[in-house]
Amino acid sequence: MAQSSANILDGFVEEVRFAADNGISTRTLFRYRNSQDGLPFAEFGGRIYIPLNEAKAWLNNRIKRPNQRRRGA
């Protein structure tokens, strides 16, 4: 039987790289992960990994839209 060459970490990015790629500090990323409804993450091999699909969903849930009933000045 042929073995799959898929990496178990496909779709995950190490937190240091995630922070650098997105222009935020690792301290900010730590705060995002530890907030009440925080950024999803996984610990594996003593490192923190961010699941990209879940990170995008987490961010999409934080989109703010202006109040359409409020009139501009």
The mean predicted confidence, pLDDT, of the chain is 91
Positive or negative: CA dihedral 53, 54, 58, 61:
positive
- Fill in the amino acid letter for 63: I
In this prediction the pTM is 0.78
Strands 47-51 and 42-44: antiparallel
Asked if residue 35 has pLDDT above 70, the reply is yes
User: With contact defined as beta carbons under 8 Å apart, do 50 and 40 qualify?
Assistant: yes
Q: Is the pLDDT of residue 63 over 90?
A: yes
